[in-house]
Structures are given as structure tokens and as C-alpha cells.
Structure 1
Amino acid sequence: MTKPVVRLRPHHFRCALGYEGKGYSPDFTRNMTEVVMGRLRAPGGGEVMIEVTGAADTLCAPCPRRRGTGCEAQAKIDALDMAHAGALRLAPGDRVTWGEAKRRIVERVAPGDLPRICAGCAWQAGGMCEAALTRLHADP
């Protein structure tokens, strides 16, 4: 049986890359771990199909900040999504594999670019996304 497509907002491509087991709530963290560690980073994860969305996605499902198909911080999320969509040349409805997503990240997002495209993200200060981006560039 084929596993369902993972739906991701554009900025969640970077979140999946930098994820280290932390989240907004236990349910959110459990879901993020299942998707990122159990699918995208699991053996064969490069073949997982991702559909780009402009609304709440697979990772947002149990988020305590979700409000319907949006977020309590919608203006910030829209800005993050716009910056990431532009950098990765993605639009809602596009479908790419996780392997293709990582190739796009390597080709279009250099180490040091995250302060610009992730401006306003509370997780940026932790450095995990920059570290993951540096590792991806070292061993794509």
C-alpha cells in the first residue's frame, strides 16, 4: 500500500531539514517526529512525495497554534512561506520528492542565507537549521 503524500508549507521544507525533536507541544513533536524521522529521514525517504500547500499542512495538524487552515501567527507564517517558496521556486500544488527538495535546497539556499529567508522564526536562534543546512551542503 502506498503511503499518503506529505503536504508541506514552503517554510516547512527547511523545518524538516533542521528538526531535532523539539516542538510546540507533545502532540506536535510526536507528529513531527513521525513525519520527519519516520518518513523523510527513514530509508527510502528521498522518494517520499511532498505536495506544496499554502495552508495548514501535515506538520501543522496537531499544532496548538493552528487556527483552522491557518495559524495564530499567520502574517509571520505567510512571510516565511513567501521567502521559502521564492528561494526554492515552489508554489502550492507543486509535487516534489524529499530527495528533489533537498537538491533544491542545496542549489538555492547557501549556508548563511537563513537569517534572510527565516527572518521572524523563533527557532532560528537555536542554530539547528543552519547546522543542518551546512551538513547538507557538505554531504548532499
Structure 2
Amino acid sequence: MYKLRGLHLFCLLGYRGMGYSEEYVENMTGLHQTLKDNPRTLILLVKGPDQLCEKFPNSGKYHCQDDTIYERDATILTKMGLEIGQILSWEDIVSHIQKYVVPTDIQIVCETCSWRTYGVCEEGVQEILKGRGLRKV
């Protein structure tokens, strides 16, 4: 079972093998591939830093505990009809995305995210809405 915060549910949709460090990319790629290959993998929704935050590099500002990130987590979970403490399979999370999320939500919810400008998260939402699942990294 993986522990993930709300924000990373959206980040996984847009993930294309880029990240903050080699260790972070390796960790994110492993999780992404597991969810792509095994959509029944269980996810525990947590408040605050999760298993992806654990590999955030020590250099630079550690944003995983910023108030704005906590707010984004809450906004995403509320939008998807989910709550901290729930345990769901990735395929159940995908069902929530298909029911409650549209690509333009990324522009609003993730307005201050530096990765948003690449457009890959909106593409990821579109892929999920079309039933294609996570993209190959």
C-alpha cells in the first residue's frame, strides 16, 4: 500500500519522467509504473508529506509542508469526493477522476505549480477521461 497526499493524485496523471532529482524521479517512476501495471494497488490518502515527498531533494526549498500545498491537497480531495484516511485502489481513484475532474481544473487548482506550464497534467486528465490510464514513462 502506498501513502499519497491529494496533490500527488494529480501529479501522477501528468508525470513524464521529470522531477526534482534523480532519486525523486526513480521513486516517482516506480510508483507510476506500479499503478499503471497494477491498478488494484491500494492507496492510503494522507495529510501532509507522503512517500513521494520522502525523496524530495535536500537542496532548495522543501515545499511539501507549505500551507499552499496543504490547501491544494484539500481542494483536490474535495473536488474528487475523497477524504484523508480513506484507502482506495488506484482504479477507484481513477473512477473518481473520471466522475469529478476535467482538464481545465489543473489551470485553477494547480495555478501556482511550476510543472503546470508543461501542459502534461491536463493531457493526463484527458487520457484518464478517455479510459487510457496512465501514460507510459
Is this a same-fold pair by TM over 0.5? yes
Q: CA deviation at 1:134?
A: 0.9
Name the counterpart of 1:34: 30
1:81-127 deviation digits (Å, cap 9, x = unpaired): 12101111222211110000011001000121211121211111110
- SS class of match (2:39): helix
1:49-92 deviation digits (Å, cap 9, x = unpaired): 000000211111110269xxx84661221121121011112222
- SS class of match (1:41): helix
Q: In structure 1, which of residues 19, 36, 48 is the aligned counterpart of residue 41 of structure 2? A: 48
Contiguous gaps of at least 5 residues in structure 1? none
For 1:65 and 1:56, the matched residues in 2 are separated by: 14
- SS class of match (2:53): coil
Q: How does 1:89-104 map to 2 (within 5 A)?
A: 89-104=81-96
User: How does the TM-score come out when normalised to structure 2?
Assistant: 0.87
Runs (4+) off by over 3 Å: 70-73
Higher RCO, 1 or 2 (CA under 8 Å, sep at least 6)? 2
Contact 2:49/2:65 (<8 A) preserved: no
Name the counterpart of 1:106: 98
User: How does the TM-score come out when normalised to structure 1?
Assistant: 0.85
Q: Does 1:22 align with 2:18?
A: yes
Name the counterpart of 1:125: 117
Percent identity reads: 27
- C-alpha root-mean-square deviation of aligned residues, in Å? 1.8
- Cα gap change, 1:105 to 1:64, in 2 (>3 Å): same
